[in-house]
């Protein structure tokens, strides 16, 4: 188990980003400049922050980023046409469309329009299907980042009871697939799960992604369990907090991720790793 029980996502992310920077440099020496195209539509302030973080993170590891900032009134057709152009551009290796999109645009249609070989977010149904069959094209960003944090905790996934609370397409479901592939025994719980406390208490590894501030307290946690908190919420004072009541759980668990500084820094790190991988694989086309 990790020293002092807190799994330091920032430190793990920093380590992986150093590796990515080294590899990016090596790929550039081979004449390929890894490049991520980021599309943002409209003026959502949270989306603006996410896109800036992604661009800054790309710069930090030497990956080129291109930003396409489109106005709120952009039509679905205009966005799909831009994606067609980027799909066909060999100098672009990853394409990311920041969600949510304005209501005149179907998010599903947009996700399905990105060619799977550039789907570094791993949202395309083809990518999801490949993950399901155990041969992922890219790693789903948040769940793969969580796998790195579980490895950091020192717990053996094979043979462990893993409980994932939340079944979204972005976190819960792909998380379950990765744990299964690593030979965990996996339960996926959700808002209709009866006896949630008892289900969670079975877990050697408990992953919570529900979007409810401090919902999971010590009553849900087995003594010594590894607890991964994916939630990003604001508490009653407007302070960033997770889905887990850290103060309640800390004394009982074996290891825990803090919010902020746990899962958060990992998501973009895996996005960078996927972009680098896409660039490397473009060489074999
Ligand atoms: P969604 O809202 O898409 O899904 C939430 C899931 O939680 C649903 O499956 C829902 O069940 C379940 N749920 C809700 N309430 C309960 C409850 N009381 N008991 C049990 N299950 C419940 O959320 P996301 O998966 O997109 O995100 C979850 C959290 O993770 C959010 O706080 C989000 O901000 C954060 N997040 C953080 C990321 C990071 O990089 N750190 C990345 C992505 C998300 P049902 O299906 O039955 O409705």
- Tens digits of residue pLDDT in 3-34: 679 999 999 999 999 999 999 999 999 999 99
11 Cα to the center of ligand 1, angstroms: 25
Q: Say if residue 260 is preceded by a cis peptide, omega within 30 of 0.
A: yes
| Residue closest by Cα to atom 42 of ligand 1 | 142
Residue 98 annotated among the catalytic residues of the structure: yes
Pocket perturbation via mutation, ligand 1, pick of 191, 214, 233 by most ligand atoms within 8 A of CB = 191
**Ligand 1 contact, 170 CB (< 6 A):** yes
Task: Give the pLDDT confidence score for residue 4 in this predicted structure.
Answer: 77
180 Cα to the center of ligand 1, angstroms: 20
Nearest to 275 by CA among 106, 59, 8: 59
Q: Which atom of ligand 1 is nearest to the CA of 233?
A: 32
Distance CA 275, CA 76 (A): 25
| Run means of pLDDT, 10 residues per run, the chain, 285 residues | 85 98 97 98 95 97 98 98 98 98 98 98 97 94 98 97 98 98 98 98 98 98 98 94 98 97 97 98 83
**Ligand 1 contact, 196 CB (< 6 A):** yes
Task: Give the pLDDT confidence score for residue 283 in this predicted structure.
Answer: 80
Please give the torsion angle defined by the CA atoms of residues 134, 265, 4 and 209, in that order, rounded to the nearest 10 degrees: -60
pTM for the model stands at: 0.96
**Ligand 1 contact, 142 CB (< 6 A):** yes
Task: Give the pLDDT confidence score for residue 41 in this predicted structure.
Answer: 98
**Ligand 1 contact, 190 CB (< 6 A):** yes
207 Cα to the center of ligand 1, angstroms: 11
Q: What are residue 90's phi and psi, to 5 degrees?
A: -65, -15
Strands 255-256 and 240-241: unpaired
Please give the torsion angle defined by the CA atoms of residues 123, 128, 129 and 133, in that order, rounded to the nearest 10 degrees: 150
Residue 108 annotated among the catalytic residues of the structure: no
User: What do you get for the CA distance between the two ends of the chain, in Å?
Assistant: 42
| Residue closest by Cα to atom 17 of ligand 1 | 191
């Amino acid at each position: 188990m990790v020293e002092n029980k807190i799994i330091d996502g920032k430190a793990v992310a920093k380590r992986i980003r150093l590796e990515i920077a080294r590899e990016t440099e090596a790929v550039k020496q081979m004449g390929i400049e890894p490049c991520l195209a980021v599309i943002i539509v409209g003026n959502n302030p949270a989306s603006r922050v996410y896109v800036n973080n992604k661009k800054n993170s790309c710069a930090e590891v030497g990956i080129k980023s291109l930003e396409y900032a489109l106005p709120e009134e952009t039509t679905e057709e205009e966005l799909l046409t831009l994606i067609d152009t980027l799909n066909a551009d060999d100098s672009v290796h990853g394409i990311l469309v920041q969600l949510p999109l304005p209501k005149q645009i179907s998010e599903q249609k947009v996700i399905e329009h990105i060619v799977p070989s550039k789907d570094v977010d791993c949202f395309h149904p083809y990518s999801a299907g490949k993950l399901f069959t155990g041969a992922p094209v890219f790693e789903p960003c948040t769940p793969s980042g969580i796998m790195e944090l579980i490895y950091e905790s020192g717990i053996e996934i094979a043979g462990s009871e893993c409980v994932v609370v939340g079944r979204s397409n972005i976190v819960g479901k792909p998380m379950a697939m990765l744990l299964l592939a690593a030979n965990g025994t996996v339960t996926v719980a959700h808002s209709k799960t009866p006896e949630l406390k008892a289900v969670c208490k079975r877990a050697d590894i408990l992953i919570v992604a529900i979007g409810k501030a401090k919902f999971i307290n010590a009553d849900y946690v087995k003594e010594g369990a590894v607890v991964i908190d994916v939630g990003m919420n604001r508490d009653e004072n407007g302070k960033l907090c997770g889905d887990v009541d850290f103060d309640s759980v800390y004394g009982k668990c074996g290891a825990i991720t803090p919010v902020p500084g746990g899962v958060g820094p990992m998501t973009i790190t895996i996005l960078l790793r996927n972009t680098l991988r896409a660039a490397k694989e473009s060489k074999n086309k």
